[in-house]
Amino acid sequence: MASVLEVLCGHADDARRAEEGGADRIHLVADPRTGQMCPTPDQVAATCAATGLPVRVTLRLRDGWSTDGGEVTRLRGLAADYLDSGAEGMVMGFLDPWSAVDQDVCATIAGGAQWPWTFDRALDYCLDFDHAWIALRRLPGLDQVLSAGSARGVEHGLDELVDRARGDRWAAGKLVAGGGLQPGHVPWLHRAGVRAYHLDAQARPLGSYKAWVDADLVHSWRTLLDHEDRQAATRDRAGG
């Protein structure tokens, strides 16, 4: 299975450069510099028109991982607008007051929808990861889970991601590793069965959100993932 490379983008130019570098999917936000919030439908339309890659759009209107009834209605409306603008799916994640996956809110927004979606890094802020992963299995339409394994990033959550992927094939198939991901993390994650990776600041010169996505930086990650895919195929042919 070829690894999927997703790049966080804030506009059409970011998306074009990500595609040029070999990305497989765009994660679109309003502005990476100011937090990962909902973009405008026009921003979504312009980005989708600029790239042939699937675009998933963040559904989030406030800091933190909570929401309320009024926002849920607005988020459902935004999701419909994004789909009309060309989006493939959404990225969202909400927690209840006890820092557990808010199944009711997520199901209300996604319920009955014919679009795929990624559970956002809200997972990394749950108090009980085992309970959270059980809850994720019940969410309609969910096909990806973006996680660093820790609220502090992959550097601190690598063991959690590797253990989770090795011990739960369903989780391994859903995981998108991201949040401070570094090249040295990839071999460990790949051998554990993770096949999707998310770039944010790593795709920009000097790791600055003031800079646009750089195609050469994206290509360096594409090369790394392709190498790991070939290594895995060789191991499979050798029976180990």
The percent of residues in the chain predicted with pLDDT above 90, rounded, is 92
- In this predicted structure, the answer to whether residue 73 has a pLDDT above a threshold of 80 is yes
Residue 174 pLDDT:
98
Counting every residue written for the chain, the total comes to 240
Q: What average pLDDT does range 148-152 have in this prediction?
A: 98
Structure tokens at 48: 């989708």
Least Cα distance to 28 among 95, 72, 105, 92 occurs for 92
Q: What average pLDDT does range 214-239 have in this prediction?
A: 94
Residue 143 pLDDT:
96
Mean pLDDT, the chain, whole residue set: 96
Residue 240 pLDDT:
58
Burial of 166 (0-12, 13-18, 19+ CB in 10 A): middle
Q: What average pLDDT does range 169-183 have in this prediction?
A: 97
Contacts of 118 (CB under 8 A, 6+ apart): 27, 56, 89, 90, 91, 92, 142, 143, 144, 145, 146, 176
Q: How far apart are the first and last CA of the chain?
A: 16
Residue 72 phi, psi (nearest 5) = -60, -45
Q: Is residue 229 very low, low, confident or very high in pLDDT (cuts 50, 70, 90)?
A: very high
What domains lie within the chain, and their CATH numbers?
A: 4-238 (3.20.20.380)
Q: What average pLDDT does range 117-127 have in this prediction?
A: 97
Structure tokens at 51: 């790239």
